[in-house]
Amino acid sequence: MFVIAVTGGIGAGKSTVARRLRELGAVVADADQLAREAVEPGTPGLAAIAERFGPSVIAADGSLDRPALGAVVFADEAARRDLNAITHPAVHDLTVQRIREAGEADAHAVFVYDVPLLVESGGRRGGLFEYVIVVEAPEEQRLERLMTLRGMSREEAERRIASQATDEERRALADVVIDASGTVEETIRQTDAVWPTLVEQAIASR
């Protein structure tokens, strides 16, 4: 099995690349989905968040109030670091579990981890990822996408981008960079061009 990470800043087009890899045959795990699982009601992760940030970030039904937590951590660097210290280890454990399950199902699988915060959560994570695809688009274009497609204010979009790693930091981890500043079709063509290499590596890894 060949384990890769697909990463990119918010609004860069990372999800388009991960979705195309799934269509081509990869097993894809979404870091955001695993992060939600890590803080479901009854988990140690949610208990730790409640202890650190207080009852205001817990909804009436006992689940995490994500907008309330986001309002805190995106405006406070120390708070964001504390949140990452709680969630990243839990998400890492879930990731390892998903990789193991995929390998047991298919020894030649291409396993793709769709992860926006690869740099922030430890880079290649001690060799867990054998290949890294970085998806990029200019910051102004990303701002426009966040405002148009996600309904963010410009201030909120700028704050989200500023809270993440820089293009240079992500590029330092990259085996390949996909330019997603053009059309979706252009992004897909670049993704398709990478796929044979991934399949070849997955076959050779057995």
- Strand 27-30's sheet: what is its strand order? 27-30, 110-114, 2-7, 131-136, 176-179
135: left (phi over 0), alpha (psi -120 to 50) or beta: beta
Encode the chain (206 residues) as per-residue pLDDT tens digits.
Answer: 899 999 999 999 999 999 999 999 999 999 989 999 999 999 999 999 999 999 999 999 999 999 999 889 888 889 988 998 998 888 888 989 999 999 999 999 999 999 988 898 777 666 789 999 999 999 999 999 999 999 999 998 998 899 899 999 999 999 999 999 999 999 999 999 999 999 999 888 75
- Quote the tokens at residue 157: 């979009």
Amino acid letter for position 78: A
pTM, rounded to two decimals: 0.84
Q: Give the model confidence (pLDDT) of 121-170 as tens digits.
A: 777 666 789 999 999 999 999 999 999 999 999 998 998 899 899 999 99
Structural domains in the chain, sorted by start: 2-204 (3.40.50.300)
Beta bridge partners of 112: 4, 28
Could you tell me the CA-to-CA distances from 162 to 75, 80, 121, 139 in Å, in that order?
Answer: 11, 12, 16, 10
